[in-house]
Amino acid sequence: RIRDRAKLPEEVKEGEYDAEYYINNQVLPAVGKIFEVLGYDIDGIVNKKEQSKLESFFK
C-alpha cells in the first residue's frame, strides 16, 4: 500500500528514495493533465529517446 511506502522527510537519507516510483505515480499524472490541455502526449514526451529543443514546445 502507498502509506506503507511513505516516510517523513527527516527519515529519508539522500538517494534512499524510489525516484522512479515518485515520478511515475506523483509527477507524471499531474503534469500529464496539464500537457493534455496544451495538446501534448505525455507518453510521447516521456518515452522519447533524444532531448528536445525548447523551441519544439512552442510550435
pLDDT (tens digit per residue) in 10-57: 887 877 778 888 888 888 888 888 988 988 888 877 787 677 678 877
At residue 13, the pLDDT reads 80
Contact of 42 with 31, CB cutoff 8 Å: yes
The pTM score is: 0.50
Considering just the CA atoms, what is the radius of gyration of the chain in Å?
15
At residue 59, the pLDDT reads 65
39 or 2, higher pLDDT: 39
At residue 49, the pLDDT reads 67
17-25 contacts: CB < 8 A, separation 24 or more?
A: none
Contact of 40 with 28, CB cutoff 8 Å: no
